[in-house]
Structure 1
Amino acid sequence: MNVSVVGSGYVGTSVAACLADLGHDVVAIDIDADIVERINAGESPIHEPGLPERIEEHAGGRLRATTDHAALLDTDLTFVAMQTPSRDDGSIDLSVVEAGMRDVGETLAEKEGYHLVVVKSTVLPGMTEERLIPILEEASGKTAGEEFGVAVNPEFQSQGTAVDDFMNPDKLVFGTDGDARALSLLNDLYDPLVEQADARAEIVETGLREGAMIKYANNVFLAAKLSTINEIANVCKEYGVDSYEVSEAIGLDERIGAPFLRSGAGWGGSCFPKDTDALRAAAREKEYDPVLLDAVVTVNDRQPVRMVDFLERHTDVAGKRIAVLGLAFKPQTDDIRGSRSKLAIEALEARGAQVVAFDPTEAADHMAEQYPDVEYVDSAAAALDGAHGALVMTDWPEFAALDAEFDAMADPVVVDGRRIVERREGIVYDGLTW
């Protein structure tokens, strides 16, 4: 199939490259000329395992990029994969997606025959019908459902595993309100995934509103599961109980399941915080008080501060050099959105600490824009050298290999938020939830 993808961020770029890997001819459309140039040169514009190889393999062949929306005229369907950032009140800002839809609509005015527009961006129930479809109709002069179709196809890709998540999905959600032509195109598009010998993907055919809500429900439920195990693990810590043994046991219950039971410094990223805040804001707009969702966020935001509290049980941080290891919100990405390190840095600076930080990716460059007073170094050893304490915020594998580096600390106190560092003689080790 011929596919166009509007928006070349984390989602759009990975979707475009993976669709090309499945054998489709894909054109990525973005207003950023630098991103377009990098994709056409076979370079990945984002840090994501497995993505650079696919872009390098398919660029100039089944994958190309352009700033010209007219490229979608030669395609069968268009994915809209643009950001929906949070406002200060937690609600989502739809302006970028609306602008993208207007560009798509204006181009569709020249399109002959049926064309499917697929909303890959995360939008709340009702927004597609009430805000996006009217923009498409006005800009194109055509009628939705007759001259073009609109579907919601949410993504369930985690940063750091986005490629594998796309290529091995557990479900494919097609929100169409029963549009037979849209369903046919989506089934043909994803058929290579469904037909894999070891395929596990279940196809869920549903409505536009339901398709939108499934995305939010999925992420918020996982966020709640993580905050629940963190709350349980915090109590375990107070009673001297190893929460990881508890998690392993309750994960054997098929009603609970083992994934997302790893307690620690909390969840972050671009999806969980944004989607949880958006659903809380949406609930309040309907005058519903989302008590449980509020608690989910409260528990999550408390975890990094607890780490600083534990550190102060062993050493006074005021005026002292304190190392923060890990700035990306999770391994295998340089994304600092929702990073738990931010709250830890803020708590340390509020208590007068001199923060020195390290991350193995460009996350340090991103963090420096927001926290300029932090000293950023090029290795974990440099961060630990002369430090009076250390917080381990991200479970990068290289942190598990740290050993002699701790000997260079002025006061070898390590508070581990990810259970990645081994207890050893010569350091005071404190686990966040164990």
Structure 2
Amino acid sequence: MKVTIVGSGYVGLVTGACLAEQGNNVFCLDLDPKKIEILNSGGVPIYEPGLKEMIERNRAAGRLQFSTDIAASVAHGDIQYIAVGTPPDEDGSADLQYVVAAARNIGRHMTTPKVIVDKSTVPVGTADKVQAAITEELEKRNLSADLCSVVSNPEFLKEGAAVEDFMRPDRIVIGTENTPAGLRAKEQMRKLYAPFNRHHERTYYMDVKSAELTKYAANAMLATRISFMNELANLADLVGADIEAVRQGIGSDSRIGFGFLYPGTGYGGSCFPKDVSALSKTAKEHGRELKILGAVDAVNEIQKYVLVEKIEKRFGKDLSNMKFALWGLAFKPNTDDMREAPSRVIISELVKRGATIIAHDPVAMPEAKHALELDFQSNPQGLKNVSMVDNPMNALDGADALIIVTEWKAFRSPDFDVVLQKLTRPIIFDGRNLYEPQAMQELGIEYHGIGRHN
């Protein structure tokens, strides 16, 4: 099938590459010429395991192309995915200007029937706005609005495992209207996703607004579990309990399960913070306050400061002349995404207290440098106290303690003899509970986890 992806960012690239992998002819559009230049020269502007190889394979096979040509993109695909960004607005709502602009461009250029697929994470009611924008453009050219049908097909991709998630999905959610055009769109989407349903049916069909809400509900639930466990971990620290034992005790309950029950330094990235805020904003627009989500967001913001509080409790408020090694900058492993990353808060707060930071991340350091430049715009002098090294062990040289922020696999089993040799003090602040407190004690390491108790 011929498919167009409008927006060659994270979701658009993964969607386009994976659909091409199934034999479809995919046209990826983006209005950023630098991004398209990178893609056409064999590069990939984001880090995602397996994505670069998949793009190269399908470009070579002629199933995947990248361009800034709007007219050509509309002409190409019978199915037009809108996968542009929906950044948070000042009031916490999702900014739909790029979604609506993409819809208008499709309406200006389409001459044959199209299925328009909202792939971007959008609030309930966005499909109506997309339909209205396209209809307005069609009517300007005296064309019938029946030429298009808008479908909601939210993405459920985990950064760091997005290719695997798309190729072997837990579920595929498709929202269509119960109209002749909607039923035709449903059939086309069924054909497109048929390869993903060979072994068993993974697709859930519903109305458009239910599909739009499903995406937000899923992310809000996962964010809630994280904040809940962070609350319990902080309590465990106070009462002398071990949150890992608690996690196993409740996770073994089949009604609860183990997923997203790991305490840490708070969630970040492009999805959970934005989607929790946007869902709360949608509720307020309808006269309802989602009190649980307000608490989830508040707990998460506080959690980003937990390691700083532990460091301050151990060394005092004045950290001048102290050096800290920091492992992990990205908000989670297997990505270079620095959006809302807890490391940014931790670094900024420690520098405010006079500390020097030597950081390492396997892939996120280029993005981290850019993010920290933005964070330190009002204090460029403070940025001089932050440096990055290519080897995690080199970050330890002369450091007073090691801080772990991101749970990269490479950090799980370091050579602790070398760690002890390089640190001036045998102290680890573990924001992801990678190590066992008892094992650290036996090695002579002073260990501070999140809710862990010896």
Deviates more, 1:35-44 or 1:334-343: 35-44
SS in structure 1 at match of 2:212: helix
State how 1:271-290 maps to structure 2 within 5 Å.
271-290=271-290
2:114 corresponds to:
115
- Residue of structure 2 equivalent to 1:177: 177
Partner of 1:215: 215
Note if 1:382 corresponds to 2:380.
no
Q: In the alignment, which residue of structure 2 is the partner of 1:409? A: 423
Q: Is 1:259 equivalent to 2:259 in the alignment?
A: yes
- 1:227-306 counterparts in 2 under 5 A? 227-306=227-306
1:41·1:59 contact (CA, 8 Å) conserved in 2? no
- Please give the secondary structure, in 1, of the residue aligned with 2:324: strand
Contact 2:267 2:331 in 1 (8 A): yes
CA 1:268–1:143: 2 relative to 1, 3 Å: farther
- The equivalent of 2:405 in structure 1 is 393
Letter in 1 for 2:187: S
What's the Cα RMSD here? 1.8
Question: C-alpha separation between the residues in 2 aligned to 1:272 and 1:143?
Answer: 39
Corresponding residue SS for 1:183:
helix
1:368 to 368, 372, 383: 372
Secondary structure of 1:314's match? helix
CA displacement, residues 35-83 of structure 1 (integer Å, 9 cap, x when unaligned): 2233334432210001011011011411111111223313211100000
State how far apart, in whole Å, the 1-side matches of 2:370 and 2:429 are: 24
Structure 2 CA distance, aligned partners of 1:5 and 1:32?
A: 14
Q: By how many angstroms is 1:384 displaced?
A: 1.9
**Cα-to-partner distance string for 1:135-189 (whole Å, 9 max, x where unaligned):** 1112233444x21111110000011010011111111111112211010011000
- 1:190 partner amino acid: Y
Segment drifting more, 374-383 vs 90-99: 374-383
2 CA distance for matches of 1:143 and 1:224? 44
User: 2:131–2:149: 8 Å Cα contact kept in structure 1?
Assistant: no
* Equivalent pair of 1:150/1:176 in contact (CA under 8 Å): yes
Query: Is it true that 1:192 corresponds to 2:195 in the alignment?
Result: yes
Equivalent position to 1:327, from 329, 336, 342:
329
Equivalent residue, structure 2, for 1:45: 45
Once residues 302 and 218 of structure 2 are traced to their aligned partners in structure 1, the CA distance between those partners, rounded to angstroms, is 23
CA distance in 1, matches of 2:329, 2:444: 26
| Percent of aligned pairs with the same amino acid | 38
Residues 251-308 of structure 1, C-alpha deviations (whole Å, 9 max, x = no match)? 2222112211111112111000100011122222333222211111121122231111
**Separation in structure 1 between the aligned mates of residue 29 and residue 2 of structure 2, nearest angstrom:** 13
Q: Report if aligned partners of 1:269, 1:337 keep a CA contact under 8 Å in 2.
A: yes
Paired residues, number = 426
Q: Indicate the SS of the match to 2:287.
A: coil
Matches of 1:105 and 1:421 in 2, distance apart?
55
Counterpart residue identity of residue 86, structure 2: T
**Residue 409 of structure 1: how far off its partner (Å):** 1.9
CA gap 1:47/1:426 in 2 versus in 1, 3 angstroms? same
Matched, 1:54 2:54: yes
Are the counterparts in 1 of residues 130 and 150 from structure 2 also a CA contact under 8 Å?
no
Q: Could you tell me which amino acid in structure 2 is paired with residue 401 of structure 1?
A: S
Counterpart residue number, 1:63:
64
TM-aligned CA distance change 1:389 to 1:376, over 3 Å: same
Shift of 1:4: 0.6
- 1:104 paired residue among 89, 103, 106: 106
Which secondary structure does the structure 2 equivalent of 1:34 belong to?
A: helix
Q: Distance in 2 between matches of 1:30 and 1:283?
A: 32
Task: Give the one of 117, 131, 134 matched to 2:132.
Answer: 134
Counterpart Cα distance in 2 of 1:277 and 1:387: 38
Q: Tell me if the contact between 1:324 and 1:356 (Cα under 8 Å) persists in the aligned partners.
A: yes
Check 1:352–1:331 CA distance in 2 against 1; reply closer, same or farther (3 A cut).
Answer: same
Q: Aligned pair in 2 of structure 1 residues 366, 433: CA closer, same or farther (>3 Å)?
A: farther
Contact 1:49 1:163 in 2 (8 A): yes
Distance 1:363 1:395 in 2: 18
1:264, 1:433 within 8 Å by CA — same for their partners in 2? Answer: no
Tell me, yes or no, if the aligned pair for 1:15 and 1:166 is still in contact at 8 Å: yes
Q: Distance in 2 between matches of 1:330 and 1:164?
A: 17
Q: What is the Cα deviation at residue 421 of structure 1?
A: 4.0
Match runs of 1:16-95 below 5 Å: 16-60=16-60, 61-69=62-70, 70-95=72-97
Partners of 2:126 and 2:299 in 1: CA distance:
30
**Counterpart amino acid of 1:184?**
E
CA separation in 2, counterparts of 1:40 and 1:154?
A: 27
- Tell me if the contact between 2:344 and 2:372 (Cα under 8 Å) persists in the aligned partners: no
Instruction: Judge conservation of contact 1:20–1:62 (CA < 8 Å) in 2.
Output: yes
1:341: Cα distance to partner? 0.9
**Displacement of 1:101 after TM fit?**
1.5
Distance 1:371 1:124 in 2: 29
Unaligned runs of 5+ in 1: none
Query: Would the aligned equivalents of 2:8 and 2:28 in 1 still touch at CA under 8 Å?
Result: yes
Is contact 2:81–2:118 with CA below 8 Å preserved after alignment?
yes
Question: Does the C-alpha gap of structure 1 residues 186 and 406 become closer, same or farther in structure 2, counting only changes over 3 Å?
Answer: farther
**Cα distance between partner residues in 2 of 1:376 and 1:344:** 15
In structure 1, how many angstroms separate the alpha carbons of the residues matched to 2:122 and 2:92? 13
**Map of 1:420 onto structure 2:** 434
Letter paired with 1:248: Q
Change (3 A) 1:258 1:193: same
289-298 vs 313-322, greater mean Cα deviation: 313-322
Maintained 8 Å contact 2:225/2:260: yes
Aligned partner of 2:379 in structure 1 is: none
1-structure distance, mates of 2:233, 2:177 = 43
